[in-house]
Amino acid sequence: MRAVPGKTWPTITSQEAGFDAEKLETAVAYAREHDSGIPLSLADHLATRAFDDGPWGETLGPTKDRSTTYGVIVRKGALAASWGEPERVDMTFSVTKSLLSAVAGVAFDQRLLSDLDEPVAATIDDPCFQGAHNGAITWRHLLQQTSEWEGTLWDKPDMVDRNRDVVTGDNSKKATHRDLHAPGTFYEYNDVRVNLASYALLLLFRRPLPEVAREFLFDPIDASDGWTWNGYRNSTVIIDGQAMLSVSGGGHWGGGLFVDALDLARLGLLYLNRGRWGERQVLSERWVAMTSEPCPVEPRYGFMWWLNTDGLMMPSMPHNSISALGAGGHLVLVDYDHDLVVVARWLDDDHHDEFARRVIAALA
């Protein structure tokens, strides 16, 4: 069993962690030198309609000015290296999706989700999951981003991310019409549909998802009290007579998970330990394994974690490694083969693989 930190992270020298000290410092220096370059004012950045043109790009949730690049490297359950401001709380954008996946894992382990291939409509009575098309959507489709859901949620139509391509980066047709496919047969990275998954889980738990995440995920792994999970100014709903905020699955329009690098490292270490934290099985080993099963129509994607199937995402990394990724250069890398968790914030996306390669190359 791998060691896990208590409230305070233990530190070990690079040599104790099995690294060549000089090579590891070279890897860290590489990260320092390759900031993502997006504006420090994320409110201003989103106000430029950075993700979407026109009224669909309106910011609905909170934002926070960012720092420059920082992060941590964890080996043997301890901090082997860090740089910048690892205790700084920042937006994470789509890293939030991987937390949402973990919350779905809590529902699965508690048998609220008894069958991922059952239509959501079987357990959720909501107009979002009615009709021949939307009514056929399953929980697996939501988690693998193959739902092809059609509609508008929190004033954002699914059309805003139709024809979005985060793999090749060619978004020349983004927000234009295309005919929908049957649910489960077509992959598309779509923030509206991820927000729908969050809303569906809220209806399933009937309590705010940040409460669920705190009780069943972050508190058991001794995370800090500094993180928040945010929604939009128009995403509050009434459930059982109580007002509850439906949180977003990213920062596309503001909101999402605001957290520091150390807490992200804890989440990564939980997955590295296959759901176990010390003596406690926080997430079932089965759920963590299912997270890493490739989507049938997009082998790079699991349950809202990015996979390295056949080295397609990060050629320098083991093919069984997984990553949580977010716009602006966020990386939470879980490397099972080398007992590593690497968290990098605001590191330019094009340099993720080379940075990781240098970290691996530093192992003595």
pLDDT above 80 for 1? no
Query: Quick count: other Cβ atoms within 10 Å of Cβ 255?
Result: 29
Which residue shows structure tokens 């047969």?
185
Whole-structure pTM over 0.75, yes or no?
A: yes
Q: Is the confidence at residue 120, as pLDDT, over 80?
A: yes
User: Does position 93 have pLDDT exceeding 70, yes or no?
Assistant: yes
Q: CA angle at residue 91 from 90 to 92, to 5 degrees? A: 115
Question: Residue 154 contacts by C-beta under 8 Å, 6 or more apart in sequence?
Answer: 60, 195, 232, 234, 235, 246
Which residues on neighbouring strands pair with residue 254, listed in sequence order? Answer: 252
- pLDDT at position 54: 77
Q: How many helices (H) and strands (E) does the chain have?
A: 9, 14
Is residue 2 scored above 80 in pLDDT? no
Higher-confidence position of 126 and 54: 126
Q: Which residue has the tokens 């301890």?
A: 78
- Range of weakest confidence among 3-7, 326-330, 336-340: 3-7
pLDDT for residue 108 is more than 90: yes
CA distance 123 to 115: 10
Confidence at 171, pLDDT banded by 50, 70, 90:
confident
Backbone angles phi, psi at 41, to 5 degrees: -85, 105
**Is the dihedral angle over the CA atoms 103, 104, 108, 112 positive or is it negative?**
positive
pLDDT tens digits, residue range 216-225? 999 999 999 9
What number is the average pLDDT over the span 35-45? 96
pLDDT at 247: 98
The distance of Cα 138 from the centroid of its chain, to the nearest Å, equals 20
Rounded distance, CA 120 to CA 124, Å? 6
Residue 22: is its pLDDT beyond 70? Answer: yes
Over residues 190-241, the pLDDT tens digits come to 999 999 999 999 999 999 999 999 999 999 999 999 999 999 999 999 999 9
DSSP 8-state class, residue 63? -
Contact 72, 6 (CB under 8 A): no
The DSSP secondary structure of 228-242, one letter per residue, reads EEEEEEEEEEEETTE
Is the predicted pLDDT of residue 263 greater than 80, yes or no? yes
